[in-house]
Amino acid sequence: MFDRSKVSRDLDTFEDVSASRNGAATYRTKSTRVRRRHSFGEAVRFWILMLLIAPILFTVVFAVAAQGIRELVPVMRTRLSRLPFPGFELLESYQGYSDLDLSHLASVLLFIAVTLIWIRVISESKGLGTVMQQRKSNPIVFYLFAAIAVIILSADAFVFYCGLAARNNGWTETSGYVPIACTALYAAGVAAFGALHQSYHES
């Protein structure tokens, strides 16, 4: 004998039916984004690009951004070898490592934070995140995220500009617009670096 209740229970597992205020039925289905598996060739190309781009960006950040942090926050000039942590005093015994200070550590952390923010911003702009979807239902979360992103990205660009401007004082024949142009190129490069990561890991 045909069992209608069984068929109804089976249909309920695929869709959720809720009654709206005017009595009409509203159907809600969950959509899940399926990530495709990258081929071996795609993975090799991605990591080759990382090995080419990441060291360049890291070197620029380590040199210029660290200088900008030193100019803005003098206490960040404290050498890592003078910190009261076990083993840090050994840095003083190695050439090059003895020059490392808190500004180098802060510049690396800032670079990582900026890269992660760019990845999230690009994901949200593609409709792959949850923040843009909540801009009407929960605007506080949206504006909070937007404010944090703008502040950190602006601070990173300003720090980089200060580092270039400080070094530009010794370049008597260099125009004043050069630090601004280089800062714009740096910001575009970090955004492209984040876009590359987002395109690979979330596609």
Residue ranges covered by each domain of the chain? 39-201
User: Does residue 98 contact residue 81 with C-beta atoms inside 8 Å?
Assistant: yes
Its pTM stands at 0.72
49-104 pLDDT per residue, tens: 888 888 888 888 888 999 999 999 999 998 888 888 888 888 887 777 888 889 99
20-36 pLDDT per residue, tens: 444 444 444 444 555 66
Residue 25, strand partner residues = 19
108-165 pLDDT per residue, tens: 999 999 999 999 999 888 887 788 887 788 888 888 999 999 999 999 999 999 988 8
DSSP 67-117: HHHHHH-GGGG-BGGGSSSTTGGGGGGSTTGGG-BHHHHHHHHHHHHHHHH
